[in-house]
Structure 1
Amino acid sequence: MENLIVSASVVLPLFFMIVLGYFVKRIRMVDDPSLKVMNNLAFRVFLPVLLFYNIYKTDVSTALNYKLMTFAAVSVTASFLVLLLLIPRIEKANPRRGVLIQGIFRSNFIIFGLPVTESLFGPGAAGTASLLIAVIIPLFNALSVVALELFRGGKMNPKKILKGIVTNPLILASALGVLAMVTGFRFPAVLEEVVADVGGIATPLALIILGASFSFSAVKGYGKQLLLGLGGRLVLIPTIFLPIGVALGFRGPELAVLIALFASPTAVSSFTMAQQMDGDSQLAGQLVVFGSLFSILTIFLWVFSFKQLGLL
């Protein structure tokens, strides 16, 4: 029961914010043009500031773990490359291809990493998750840009893909965050508080926009894609990589971080990025909504299983 409460406490607040967004759209407090403006603001301002701040606050000296960072980065890259080969053979529509690839390999680690680890092992274990955020989130964003740009116009354009990567606000924020982390740069206390507050707007706003953009009527046309995306994200990816992590000797907080990385639902920002980069945003939104709901059960099962085995 305790493990179910931990899983639910991480996922349910996100889901309730999605429901709030759906409600405010239904009572006509927002319309489609205003949602488009809000989404653009979230993508270009609030999400980049959140990403920068998470990396900026990472303390390298207390959580350096080369083995864990290498395994996580290699696993994410490997899953991306395999999906890049497989998804075009299964899905014929380009706007859906990039969204499916992103939806399966990219998890909501920036939101789940710290809560899951701290819930299981306390605040003292947060450093491991924080440092991995600094490595994995920039990687997620760079590979997502490649996937979405690759299928944006129907044919590969290396210059366009490279331009999409170097000008992407999330990539730029990641680079600045890593630079600040490595150099030890710090804002004055007043400015740091402002940055934290602005970044704190990102996740609630993105979830509310997602809920407002969601349409139940569109679900019927995405049966195969949802089965593929949710099955890949919540079942296949953790089933492949978590046992490998255990075999490599990861235990305790390290394994908790890997659960958050591999078993959490699709990243909220994947919906925002899909909208901004001409991907199928309806599919991207549904992957986030249903993934957030079903992950309550799947994360619980992974945590419970590893606890029963004495690995957590």
Structure 2
Amino acid sequence: MDSLFISLNAVVPLFLMMAVGYIIRLTGLLNDISARQVNKCIFKVFLPLMIFINIYDTGSGATLRNDLLFFAAAGVLVEFLISLVLVLLTEQDNSKRGVMLQGMFRSNFVLFGIPIAMSLYGDSAAGTASLLIAIIIPMFNALAVLALEMFNGQRPNLWGVLLGIITNPLILASLLGLLFNHFGWYLPKVLYSTMSTLGDIATPLAFVVLGASLAFGETGRCIRPLLITLFMKLIVYPAAFVGAAILMGFRGANLAVLLTVFGSPIAVSSFTMAQQMGGDDQLAGQLVVFSSILSIGTMFLYIWGLGYFGYF
């Protein structure tokens, strides 16, 4: 019964915040344009502040386990390679191939990982997730660009990939937090309090905007690639990699962080990237919508099952 309450407490608030966002969309208080503008503000201001404060709060002794880092990074690469083979075998349309490939390996780790880890294990797990962001998010970004450019008939732009990584606000916030910890720098109390308060806005606002961004058009046209991608993303990969992590001895907070790396829904930014890089943006949008909704159920089941069998 305890595992049931743990999983409910971790997942239900996220669902309710998305539901509030969808109701706001129905009332007309937010439309697609305003939702994108607020989302850009979240990405460039509130999420970086949250990540920085989470790393800052872990203290100068914060370290990321080498085996955790290696497992997460290697797992993302394996996901990418398996997904590449799968899309080549199952889809003929190149505009859909790149979007499916991106959708299978790229997760909304920032938005889902930190709140779920914090809900399960508090600030220490949130700090671990924030540290891992500095490694995983650059991988997601670089591989996502490669996935989309691989199937648009153009040669991948290495400089564009590198520039996108080094100017990513989430990466910059992670690196800045690591610098503060490494050198023992301290923020003035008034500045820390302000940044912490603004960072606290990130999770609820991001989920409200995500709910307000949900749309259900064009589903029928995308049904086959949609089902294939969602099946791999939400069921096969989380089960396979979390199972492998258990066999390697990961437990508790570290296992929870890995679950969010591999089990979170598809990143919202994948829709924008598909629009800009010649991918099937309608399919990308549907993948974001349905993975965000269905992941509430799949994450609940994973958290409940791992808690029930004593791994959390």
TM-score (norm 2): 0.80
- Give, as a single letter, the amino acid of the residue that structure 2 aligns with 1:131: T
Q: 1:272 to 1:5 in 2, by over 3 A?
A: farther
For residues 86-235 of structure 1, the aligned pairs below 5 Å read: 86-87=86-87, 90-91=90-91, 97=97, 99-113=99-113, 116=116, 123=122, 126-135=123-132, 137-150=133-146, 151=148, 154-155=153-154, 156-235=156-235
- Kindly state the Cα deviation for residue 195 of structure 1 after the two structures are TM-superposed: 1.2
Contact 2:115/2:126 (<8 A) preserved: no
Task: Encode CA deviations 1:128-182: one digit per residue, 9 max, x unaligned.
Answer: 55224312x1233212322443326652111222222222222322322332232
* C-alpha RMSD of the superposition: 3.3
Q: CA deviation at 1:191?
A: 0.7
- The count of corresponding residues between Structure 1 and Structure 2 is 308
Q: Give unpaired runs (5+ residues) of structure 2.
A: none
Match of 2:53 in 1: 53
Q: Name which of structure 1's ranges 34-43 and 276-285 shifts more when overlaid on structure 2.
A: 276-285
TM-score (norm 1): 0.80
Matched residue of 1:246: which SS? Answer: helix
Aligned-pair distance for 1:94?
A: 6.2
For the residue of structure 2 that corresponds to 1:217, the secondary structure is coil
**2:186 partner SS:** coil
> What CA distance in whole angstroms lies between the structure 2 residues aligned with 1:255 and 1:290?
25
Contact 1:65 1:128 in 2 (8 A): no
List gaps (5 residues or longer) in structure 1.
Answer: none
Name the CA shift for 1:250/1:93 in 2 (closer, same or farther; >3 Å). same
Partner amino acid, structure 2, of 1:144: F
Contact 1:266 1:288 in 2 (8 A): yes
Indicate if the aligned counterparts of 1:242 and 1:258 stay in contact, CA closer than 8 A: yes
| Cα offsets for 1:198-245 (capped at 9, x unmatched) | 222223333333323322223333322332332122211122212221
SS in 2 for 1:186: coil
Is the CA contact (8 Å cut-off) linking 1:203 and 1:268 kept in structure 2? no
Alignment of 1:54-73 (within 5 A): 54-59=54-59, 61=61, 64-73=64-73
Contact in 2 for aligned 1:274/1:280 (Cα 8 Å)? yes
1:293 aligns with 2:282: no
- Counterpart position of 1:262: 262
The 8 Å contact of residues 265 and 288 in structure 1, kept in 2 or not, is answered as yes
SS in 2 for 1:30: coil
Distance 1:131 1:158, change over 3 A: same
CA change 1:104–1:245 in 2 (3 A) is same
Amino acid at match of 2:69: M
